[in-house]
Copies of this chain bind each other. A is one copy, B any other.
Amino acid sequence: MKIAILGGTGEQGPGLALRWALAGEEVIIGSRQREKGEKVAIELNQELGKELIRGTDNVTAAAEADVIVMTVPYSAHIGTLESVQEQCKGKIFVDVSVPLDSENARRVTIPAAGSASEEAQQILGPEVKVVCALQNISAHLLREVKAEIDCDVLVCGDKDARPTVIQLVNKIGGGIRAISAGPLEAARQIEPITALLIRLNILNKVHSAGIRITGLPEK
């Protein structure tokens, strides 16, 4: 599958790109500036020792991909969505954003839509299959491609797209488990968990806090 990672030069993008590339997916890193996307792709390919990742601008990346994953900081949420609206039509769009308070990442500023993912759906329109996922993974552990990640990923949103996203999440490896969490409005509870984990990281001087959901039936 061809995956675009918009804002892919940021905190979570490189880890996702490396892990998906190693799992055999075709990855295109997008950035606001094409040169930055290209540069990071070159660096990641050097780390891999193979040419597996391409880099370009966000709009080109979105246009070429089957699945578009967005990992921009919340301050760039609306602007990036508006810039790729046309390129997302008919595709699966995975929003990894969390509306963290720009002054204090232990806080969330709840968007009028209820969550960042619901805001994405509003902006992209009904022709785009929006799914919320991957907010609560430690970017630090994600980036160390051989690190175990003791964390579940709650996946909610478009019913038809959800199974594809669950498969992609499970391909990240390292012990990550995707859990289906129903319609997009569950993002209202899923996204804020990131602020809690950032708080626990700060309190405990670590970068690795995560969550596991317990008490569910074995699949």
Contact = CB atoms under 8 A, between A and B. Distances in A.
Contacts of A197: 213
A107 B211 contact: no
A181 B206 contact: no
Interface of A (DSSP majority class): mixed
Task: Tell me how many chains of this kind the complex includes.
Answer: 2
A193 B181 CA distance: 12
Interface string A83-123: 00000000000000000000000111010000000000000
A208 B182 CA distance: 17
Contacts of A206: 215-217
Contact of A181 (B154, B182, B186, B199): B199
A215 B106 contact: no
A110 B204 CA distance: 28
B189 A150 contact: no
B215 A210 contact: yes
A206 B116 CA distance: 29
Interface of A: 106-108, 110, 138, 141, 150-151, 154, 179-182, 185-186, 188-190, 192-193, 195-197, 199-200, 203-206, 208-217
